[in-house]
Chains A and B, each alone.
Chain A
């Protein structure tokens, strides 16, 4: 079955520690995204990538880093510089956006819940 796999489902971070969240897709999608969701809030974009070896900052990139070495993988590292990392992290992907008319829908993985120890 095609889909987006996020792991782990739950993650705990110690003070001063960097942690990495995994996101893998087998949909052959070009674009991948990372969002953060806080309780009662909408999704906020952290980073996105439209092609391998290229990525762009979203609205709240500070304290996070990403890489896109393979089309199917887009891991997110939450660094120690992110002082309030507790949130629900969602990875999404979409087929390539070609023109100025319409976006392809984004599809989401099951998410990773990150908490501070």
Chain B
């Protein structure tokens, strides 16, 4: 059974701090990794994707990938109250259904003013 695991939280950080969200996955063949933000009652919104080991930065967001450890993380610098949401990690399903994504259950982030 292919799985994506996330700490459900809630993760609470003060405004201006760095929020660190973590995700592990079970399928060693996975090649593509995505982070989505989902506000309460809304649909998921893509914020980052990463395909290669290392770091990828986009504004206040940094995705980090370590395929050997099967670990992907999302760092949010200078956290704002508007970053309060559930963050979903998604990983492509390797093998015959490579186009499909497996989603974690999400980590709820709360940024306190």
**CB-contact partner of B99 in A42, A97, A110, under 8 A:** A97
Contact A107 B32 (CB under 8 A): no
User: With A40-B105, A48-B99, A106-B101 in contact, do A101 and B49 touch (Cβ < 8 Å)?
Assistant: no
Residues of A within 8 A of B103 (CB): 35, 42-44
Q: Within the assembled complex, what's the spacing in Å between the Cα atoms of A107 and B103? A: 14
B17 CB–A CB distance under 8 Å: no
Residues of A within 8 A of B98 (CB): 97, 100, 103
Select from chain B the residue with minimum beta-carbon distance to A45.
Answer: B100
Which B positions have Cβ atoms within 8 angstroms of A? 4, 8, 31-32, 34, 42-46, 49, 51, 88, 90, 92, 97-101, 103-106
Which A positions have Cβ atoms within 8 angstroms of B? 31, 33, 35, 40-45, 48, 50, 56, 58, 90, 94, 97, 100-103, 105-111
Other A-B pairs beyond A106-B46, A106-B101, A108-B44, 14, CB < 8 Å: A42-B4, A42-B103, A42-B104, A45-B100, A90-B44, A94-B99, A97-B98, A101-B51, A102-B31, A102-B32, A103-B32, A103-B98, A109-B43, A110-B43
